Structure 1
Amino acid sequence: MSCRLDVSVVAPGTAHRNHCPHCLASLHVDRRVPGDRDADCRGRMEALSMSTRPDGEWVIIHQCASCGELSANRIAGDDNPYALVRLALRPLVDPRHAGRALFAL
């Protein structure tokens, strides 16, 4: 991942580890189903923004730096709460991030 810290394969609250709990970056390894590890890209997925599902669950919106694909990944129980809040507040601090996310959609 981007921060190069050790990441456990166990992710509390989700069946598949799909991002670093420290920096929230990911790798483009899944194609259609979480955990399928069927993507050929293997590019770095940047944590772009946050969203919530209708049930209130938080998800991280990632964008692949190689191919541009977007994905939504559930947060995990061991994610750094400061990193999550910083990501959620990013559009308020720098409106360019919100425009970038909307443009990507």
Structure 2
Amino acid sequence: MDSFVCKQCGRIVTPDGAGSRHRNHCPQCLHSLHVDERPGDRASVCESVMEPISVWVRKDGEWAIVHRCKRCGHLSSNRIAADDNPLKLMSIAVKPLAEPPFPLEELGPDACGGQASEGGDAR
């Protein structure tokens, strides 16, 4: 595999440290390029930047990054590499908890299984 320059952050990305022969995203910002329609086919004409939007854990316990193309919305999944930025990975993993898709304050005290007393404490 050859080195490349990340189109998102400008970092020079080398195959060293990836733990794999295949490097398809930047280890710093985790962005990729939309070059495949199916893994490895290099058939996409889009070639836009793909942003990391989520992570998931495969059956074997291996983590993978979900990327979404900024231009066409195509989704793909790529296994993480040994030298991927762990802080960025964790940031993506906890994003649904830190920024839920609904307002938590509208759930009220009963949503957590507790009952609010007159003082406002759930017991």
Q: Which TM class, normalised by the smaller chain length?
A: 0.7 to 0.9
Runs (5+) with no aligned partner, structure 1: 97-105
For 1:66 and 1:15, how far apart are their aligned partners in 2? 28
* Higher RCO (CA < 8 A, seq sep 6+): 1
Identity of aligned residues (%): 51
Please report the TM-score for the alignment, with normalisation by the length of structure 1: 0.82
Corresponding residue of 2:30: 24
Q: How many residues align?
A: 95
Corresponding residue of 1:46: 51
**RMSD in angstroms over aligned alpha carbons?**
1.4
Corresponding residue of 1:12: 18
1:49/1:33 CA distance change after superposition, 3 Å: same
Please report the TM-score for the alignment, with normalisation by the length of structure 2: 0.71
Greater fraction helix: 1
Which ranges of 4 or more aligned residues in structure 1 deviate by more than 3 Å?
Answer: none
Q: 1:83 aligns with which of 88, 97, 109?
A: 88
For 2:86 and 2:23, how far apart are their aligned partners in 1? 17
Which has the greater radius of gyration? 2
